[in-house]
Structure formats: structure tokens, C-alpha cells
Amino acid sequence: MTEIISLDELAQQVPSGIRIGIGGVHLTRLPIALIDKVLNLGRKDFTYISWGGGLPLELFLEADALKKLVFCFSSLDILGLAPRFRAALETNRVEVEEWTALAMIQGLHAAFFNLPEVPFQVPVGSDLMNTGNFWKKTVSPFTGEPIALARRLDVDTVLFHAQRADRQGNIEIQGARGLDLSLLGASKKNLFTVEEIAEVGELGSAPKSYVLPRTFVSAIAHVPGGAYPTSCLPYYTTDYRRLVDYVRTEEQRKKSAVAAATAAPHVAPTESSPRFVFSAPRKQFLSAAAQVPLKALTPARLEHFGLKIETAAPYTIDELLAATLAHEYDNASICSVGSVSPLAMVSYLLAKRTHAPGLILISLNGGFIDVESHPMSLTLAEPLDWQTAKAFWGGDDTYHWYYQTGRITHEVITTAQVDLQGRTNNAWIESKGKRLRLPGQGGMADVTNLHKNFTLYLTRHSPERFVESVQFCTASRGILGDNERRQAGLQPGTVRLISNLGIFELDHAARKFRLVSIHPGVALEEIRQQTGGEFLVADPLPITPAPTADELHLIRHEIDPFGIRQLEFVPSKSRLETIERILDAEQALVEDVFPNAR
């Protein structure tokens, strides 16, 4: 029987110097309370292993508790870049291993299955494969084709937060699982905090829940609210307002540190890790928000609380791009929602509401399978996906079932830089003599080849973002030709870039982008001036169709009434204010549905 102990006792089981993993995904089921306890014990010198860094990584870096980082991606999601992650990597404060997502999954599986390595498809075209030592290239002894081998990735202890445990120590996980199952299989010790303790035999009664046998559970603490300010549905959703406060505090700390200029960049701040106190009013509101049913989001409510934009008003560039992207999909499309891509999400939902109702939408990095169309939201996004998804999976499951088998047709993403050969850069850029760290490729290096179509968008087409040649290529379509792709068991498809000025498609023979459509009111000379090199031009060159009145009505009043798509267009200094405006509107709507949530 697995022991159920206090949070303090659970944290005491985490010594310094170990390889530590963090469960959850993005802003979902992160073990924040347990992380806070461990760091307040003064534990140090961890090797941090996780697909996404995000908020937990910021807390570890704030405590100066890391010696090494093994990761694929790190940001604060819709709130912007992760400042401590960027500072640590720009100043070489920690040792870094940057893996592709599929390599990390397979490395964890190697440890899980007690093997030295596990094969995966070579991410052809990514410079990351030239810099990392996490893999080796070899050939299949059966077919002679090239394959990659991910080395074994062992973890000492993983910290998790889950919905329920029973009194014998079995665990129930509801919703998206991230890489939780791969992590716990690779780990020697798995420590859980949970929202609720259930009687033996009750686990598995929740819809689409996953029950983990106690064999793989080392110890448990009953910690209601233990994921706050991130979500743990169905108990509470993410507190974006508290996260805005956290980001503001970090921005102020950075300004104060620069003004003082009394410490070297690598010296950790002296203040303790921030405390995320789950107050009764916030718990009441977030618990109510977690229960808002889709049917409550009526056109009248959305009209009342959303932005007041008349359908007859001229379209804006965000609406043109959303409609243009939506035309990329059809009724047979299988679309995966990438990280921090609200404009792409609007386009998927628009297609489902118009010409592609059969489109299959996979959200939260492979966690929610086949979600229904619903209004965009920050506070309500995960609860609405939760309500309508046909299945709850892990990101590792989705990689194996959908990505590696080539079933995904689109995962539309943006990137910091793209060049005229279709190569992307989301790792780092040189600017004014300094190397600036970017979030990382996440899974782009893998999926750029695995998906049928590689579709990019740029909200700000400029010579700095659309360049002659990227300084570092995080991902590109290395398996390009139709026959080459068929031989690899993948679907032939296109490489397209949709910017705020026009639409480009990669010419397979020339390996160069061709402008195939120009947006209304844009001159060809303007595109030439805003591009960092020469591109091909279609002849004749059509004009991109403007959004229809029906599309504008759907975008403005039913799909994205709060204007979340605009977060990709506002200046970074205005991002938090825009988020707060959205949160105010969403809070008023939730309180209208549940007056007791006030």
C-alpha cells in the first residue's frame, strides 16, 4: 500500500542533486504547491527534465536550484516569453540539453523499457540534430534506411499533481496527460499531490479518466488546490489573472535589478519563491468557471460580453489571416493545435463552422482528441475542450498514433524567423551583438516532416523575420518531394507561409518560396522591401480573397468574441493589458452564468 503523507513529508523525499521531472502540461496540473515546498527546503543542483519548462522552470531558476536543463521548449504560454529561462541560457548559467519532443519521448521510453536506446524518425532538416548528443544516426539492419536512436533518459524523481487517489495509493488522472506516463515509467520515484482522496473502488468512475496502479506511485499527499494557479479540472481552471500578476512582478524585478546594477547577471535574486495563495474568492470563481457548460455561451451572452464590432465594419488583418488560414483545411483535415497559437485556433474553429464540419481538432498538445467547435476563451478554453473531447490522451500517445503515422494534415504555427528556403528559427537570434534566446522548437523539428502540410504564418512580415537564411534552423521540411515522402510512409503535401502581406508556397525544385497570392491593398514592391531576400513570383499573381460577411460575423460574434486572436498582433508592452481586458469580459460572463461566482 502506497503511503499517504503530508505535503511537508512529501517534499522531504526530494534530495538535492537529483534528476527531477515535472508532470502536467503547459498550465494544466502543474505540481506548484509541491515545487514550492521543495524549493523552500533549499534543495539545489537539480537536473531538470521536462518537455516544457514554463512556470515550474521559472520557479526553479528563481531559486537558483538548477545545474542542468533538459528540455524542448519554454515559455509562459499566452503571457509571453519566460524571462528567467532566457536570462539563464543567455548568460550560460545552467548546462543545457535541448531535445526534440519525439526524441525525448523515446529516450524516456528507453528508460521505461530498460533499453539503452529507442529508435525514431530522423528530424531531417533541423540544425538541432547537429548540436545535440541525445541521439545517434544509424541505419535499419532490416531495410538499410536511416533511422535515429534516442539515448536512454533516466529520471530519479518526478513531481505530479492529479485529481484523485484512493486509500491504497492508486491514482486517477483526468484530462490531458502531457508526457506524464512516459516520465513516470522512466522515473525511480513518483511523488503525487492530489485534489481528493477516494475510497477503494471509486477511481475510474469519472468520464475518460485514467487509473494508474499504485505499483508506480511512491508517495501521495492530499493537497486540494495543489496545482494553483494552473488548472486541475474539473475542480478549477487556470487563474490567468494571478499569472498576469506574476509576470508583472517579474518584469518589475528585472527593471529594478537593471537599475541597481549591483550584482552579476548570474547571481540569483535573494527574494524567496513567490507564494500562490489560493484565496476563497478566487477558488469560488475558478471552480464556477470550470463548470460553465457550452450551451450557456449563447449568441446573446457572447454578444453582450464580447467586443462590440459590427459585422459591417471593414475587416482587420487578423481577420483576413484567420479566414485565409481556414481555407487551407477541408472536411478530411486532422489539425493539431500547437503551442501559443490563438490565430491558428480561430482558423480551425472557423473552418469547422463553415466548409469543414468534419475537421478533427486535437488540442492541448495532443491531450484532447476531436474537440467540438466552441467560442475562444482564456479562462474557459480548457473546460470547453474538456467537455467536448472524444478522448483524453497524452502527448506521447498522440505522437505515436497520429504524428509518426503521418495522419496529421496541419499544425499551423508561427515562428520567430523563417527564411526563403522554408527553414524556421525559434532557438536564438543575433541582434546588436547579443545572442537572444527564443522559446525553442518544442516538437517542430519532428512534426515539420511528419505532418502532411507544413503551414506557417507571420503576423509581422519584415526583413528581420522573413530572411534570406536563418542563423539556426530549428525545423524545416527535409523530406520534401512527393515520392520521397511516400517512400517514408508520409503524405505528400505543401509548405506554405501566410503572412500579413501575402501567401507563399515552397517550390520543390527550386527549394525557394514563391509568392502565390497578394493581399488586397498590398503592392508587390512593399513585399519585396519587407522581405530579406529575393523570392519567386507567380504569374499571374492573384489577390487573396477578403473574408466574407458570414466569416466576419462568425469570427467577431461566435468564434472569438473576446478578440483573443489580437494577442498575436499587439505590441509586447500591451499584451498584459489586452489579456486583462479579455479576463474582465470573461469574468463578467461567468458571473452572469453563475451569480454565486462573484
The confidence band for 271, taking pLDDT boundaries of 50, 70 and 90, is very low
CA 504 – CA 518 distance, rounded (Å)? 9
Is the per-residue pLDDT at 263 higher than 60? no
The CATH superfamily of 412-537 is: Glutaconate Coenzyme A-transferase (3.40.1080.10)
C-alpha cell, 445: 523539428
Is the per-residue pLDDT at 311 higher than 60? yes
Is the per-residue pLDDT at 266 higher than 50? no
Report the run of H or E that residue 320 belongs to, with start and end: helix 317-326
CA 447 – CA 236 distance, rounded (Å)? 32
Q: Mean pLDDT over residues 464-477, rounded? A: 96
The reply to whether the predicted model has a pTM over 0.85 is yes
CATH T-level topology, domain 3-100+154-222: Glutaconate Coenzyme A-transferase (3.40.1080)
Determine what percent of the chain is predicted with pLDDT higher than 70.
97
266 or 469: which leads in pLDDT = 469
So what's the pLDDT on residue 273? Answer: 43
Mean pLDDT in the chain? 94
Return phi, psi of residue 106, to 5°.
Answer: -70, -35
534-586 pLDDT, tens digit each = 999 999 999 999 999 999 999 999 999 999 999 999 998 899 999 999 999 99
Helix axes 83-90, 240-260, angle to 10 degrees: 40
So what's the pLDDT on residue 257? Answer: 67
Q: Mean pLDDT over residues 183-203, rounded? A: 97
The confidence band for 259, taking pLDDT boundaries of 50, 70 and 90, is low
Return phi, psi of residue 497, to 5°.
Answer: -125, 120
Is the per-residue pLDDT at 252 higher than 90? no
The confidence band for 137, taking pLDDT boundaries of 50, 70 and 90, is very high
Name the nearest CA neighbour of 543 among 520, 515, 523.
Answer: 520
So what's the pLDDT on residue 256? Answer: 74
388-412 pLDDT, tens digit each = 999 999 999 999 999 999 999 999 9
So what's the pLDDT on residue 351? Answer: 98
265 or 144: which leads in pLDDT = 144
The confidence band for 598, taking pLDDT boundaries of 50, 70 and 90, is confident
Where are the CATH 3.40.1080.10 domain residues in the chain? 3-100+154-222, 412-537
CA 46 – CA 155 distance, rounded (Å)? 11
The confidence band for 496, taking pLDDT boundaries of 50, 70 and 90, is very high
Bond before 234 cis per omega within 30 degrees: yes
43-99 pLDDT, tens digit each = 999 999 999 999 999 999 999 999 999 999 999 999 999 999 999 999 999 999 999
20-47 pLDDT, tens digit each = 999 999 999 999 999 999 999 999 999 9
Is the per-residue pLDDT at 339 higher than 90? no
Question: Does residue 470 contact residue 482 with C-beta atoms inside 8 Å?
Answer: no
| CA-CA-CA-CA torsion sign (503, 569, 583, 236) | positive
Determine what percent of the chain is predicted with pLDDT higher than 90.
91
- C-alpha 173 chain-centroid distance: 20
Start-to-end CA span in the chain (Å): 42
The confidence band for 251, taking pLDDT boundaries of 50, 70 and 90, is confident
In sequence order, the 6+-apart residues with CB closer than 8 A to the CB of 346 are 322, 376, 555, 559, 560, 564, 565
